[in-house]
Amino acid sequence: MLTVKAVRDWLATLFPSDTVLAGFLDANLNQCLAVYQRDTGVWNQAIGGNSTYQRFYGKVLVHWGTASDVCEAKADTVFNTILANRSQYAGITMDRPPVLIGRDNRGIFEAVVIFTIIYETE
């Protein structure tokens, strides 16, 4: 099973100069990426037996600075980088373009990048 930590580790290799967190956001930081698993309510089960593939439904919260355009640009970079590195797994789909969701209590802008990783189980 693919874990949030494993996805965080993979994204940390794609963004080595950024702080990438797994399952939580450090609101004290002005810039970080936080990886979460989405609950879709869907379990993949092959008809007639066990599947060798599963899906990880994920999202990255881009917590990035006090200017909306800078946050949007970073979210676009995250989106495009994940898409460009989809060969790491059996497949990656980007569920929609990044969405700017507003500011937190400290005035830091946030955007969400939603994706699905298709991976082969062992």
Interval 55-71: pLDDT, tens: 899 999 999 999 999 99
Which pTM value belongs to this model?
Answer: 0.89
The proportion of the chain whose per-residue pLDDT surpasses 90, expressed as a percent, equals 71
Q: Which helix (H) or strand (E) holds 74?
A: helix 68-84
Which range marks the domain in which residue 104 is found?
Answer: 4-120
Q: How is residue 18 annotated by DSSP? A: S
User: By CB neighbour count within 10 A (0-12 exposed, 13-18 middle, 19+ buried), where does 38 fall?
Assistant: middle
Place of tokens 């955007």: 111
Q: How is residue 26 annotated by DSSP? A: -
Interval 80-100: pLDDT, tens: 999 999 888 888 889 899 999
- Per the structure, the count of domains in the chain is 1
3-state SS, residue 93: strand
